[in-house]
A and B are shown apart, each in its own frame.
Chain A
Amino acid sequence: MYTIREVNGGRGRSINSDTGWCIPDDPANRHYQEVLDAIIAEGAACFDGDIPEDLQAAADEKQFNQQLAAYTTATARLAQYVLADGRAEVTEMQPTGEQVFNEETMEMEDVMHEVITVTSIEPVEATVTRMVYSEDDPMAEPVEETIENPLITKDSEERAAAQAIIDATPQAVIDAV
């Protein structure tokens, strides 16, 4: 909880936290940035009284920039290949730098060759097998267990998290990309 206190006989203000910190009006101060973070996360609940307009505007701007950065990162994460599917090779025709004369068109033409622009990557194994030992009976034979490859599990979780960020991004932020 933050409180605005007048200082210097009413000629200035101090942003005070309930832990006793007195925070200057300086965006370069990390405590000031924490005030903005609290406004973003909690809104009016983090202030005893109204949030000063300048602080609210600074918090709005910071939130916009954070959402923009998160959206950019999330889209980049989704653009990575899916581990379970692997990645297909991508080729394209590019000029070699040489030219030949085309007698039909009577023009010089680039000599083209096929270049691999994206190398292929095999999908990872869908499942892995592990030995499970009994916690109750150390002498018991271990049991073989097949589970989804943890790399795929983690990849799916991260992709889902990235998709959730994209879904939650306001349109105004997406439009700014």
Chain B
Amino acid sequence: MVVKVSKPAINVREELADLRKPTGIAGEAMLRAETPQEQQELIGVGRRNIIINGAMRVNQRNLGIVSVTTTPYYIADRFSCYNSIGSMTAQQSTDAPTGFAHSFKVECTTANASPGVGEAWIQYKPEAQDMYHLAYGTSNPKSMTISFWVKSTVTGLAGFYIYQADGARAYQARYTVHNSNTWEWKSITIPGDAAGNFDDNNDTGAEMRWYLAGKAGDDNINEWGNGSTHTLDRTPSTYNFNSAVGNVFAVTGVQLEVGKVATPFEYRSFAEELALCQRYYWQTESWRGGQYAYDQIGQGFIRTTNTNDSPVTIQAPFPVPMRVRPAVGPSTADGAVNFAAQVANTGTTIDRIVGTWTSGVRMAWLDFNLVSNPYSVGQAVSVYCNGGSYTDIQFDAEL
């Protein structure tokens, strides 16, 4: 039996023309990628943002408007600022671009037209082990791209600076503020550094700064170099945030990612962002929703009957393991009403925290004094934030 099969004629010229699909530049880059790894880097899949709290949402300290001096002040969690020129204030602000609720905002309150040798900046410090995968110090170091929204009264070239703490190497970059007091999105791609280094540990990996003033100059830009020479021109000679009272600089939507492309901001849930921040800092919550929260600090026992010999010892568990052993302190000066204790069935007040001792990062042992101590050794104690006081206990393991 003979079977005849017929197929429609093919116009080869038309078929070839169909191959010229409008893929666009990104599409062609995907097609040219030789490995799935290259394609992943082009798309930016998975967890991308190395920065914690880049949207400035978490603000556990809730300090309000702070006058900034030469002690680095942490305002929004993980972000700090410093000032040795004129004077300025800093705050977590609700002034933000579309899609963001908050920003880190500073405002000049005393001008200094000629900053001299002082400086002012906003800083973020990642842990070294969170930068390790950039493979600095190898023959194939990876580029990284930082993107952010910025609003600045002063226009023109502005300075961004990154210093590798382990490699003692620095990179000074520039971005342009086009319009005064207008939210603008910026991205800076920083090449990999074969001579650099990020250790695999929990120390400071980098100091990343948005320079507001100081260390002005225009040399050694856009190249990695020795930290002692490439740290001299952190601010363009034309930029000075402190030039006039009322000048504002705000930043949010900060994202640092591997690769040469800035992808859209990676939004994380508030709960996740808060937990990430608590590795570095957390505090109790004495006041919530317009009333005292009586937040618990920890539980323990009466160790001695001597009132002033730190008779109360408690364990204060942390919400997440912290980076290192934290310093522990009250958010306001110690006082008899700041904290309270429940001993057996009796309420009493704590005189002050005496000390902290722990070898771990999951909880702290804390010793307290009591105002009076009519109790017995071994009695159970629960210590909490007192009603009538807004004082919290802070646990600080920031970089």
Contacts and interface: CB of A to CB of B under 8 A. Distances in A.
A154 B235 CA distance: 13
B356 A7 contact: yes
A144 B50 CA distance: 53
Interface of B: 114, 116-117, 202-203, 216, 219, 226, 228-229, 231-232, 237, 303-304, 310, 313, 323-330, 333-334, 352-358, 365-367, 396-399
A31 interface: yes
A85 interface: no
Contacts of B303: 9
Contact of A7 (B116, B202, B367): B367
Contact of B355 (A7, A29, A76, A151): A7
Given A28-B203, A73-B228, A154-B114, A12 B329 contact: no
Contact of B353 (A13, A22, A26, A157): A22
Nearest to A72: B228
Secondary structure at the B interface, as helix, strand, loop or mixed, is loop
Contacts of B355: 5-7, 12-14, 16, 22
Contacts of A102: none
Contact of A154 (B216, B323, B329): B216
Interface in A111-138: none
Given A7-B355, A8-B367, A22 B327 contact: yes
Secondary structure at the A interface, as helix, strand, loop or mixed, is mixed
A128 to B, nearest CB: 13
Nearest to A16: B355
Interface residues of A, number: 36
Contacts of A20: 329-330, 333-334, 352-353
Contacts of A72: 228
A156 to B, nearest CB: 11
A124 to B, nearest CB: 11
Contacts of B358: 24
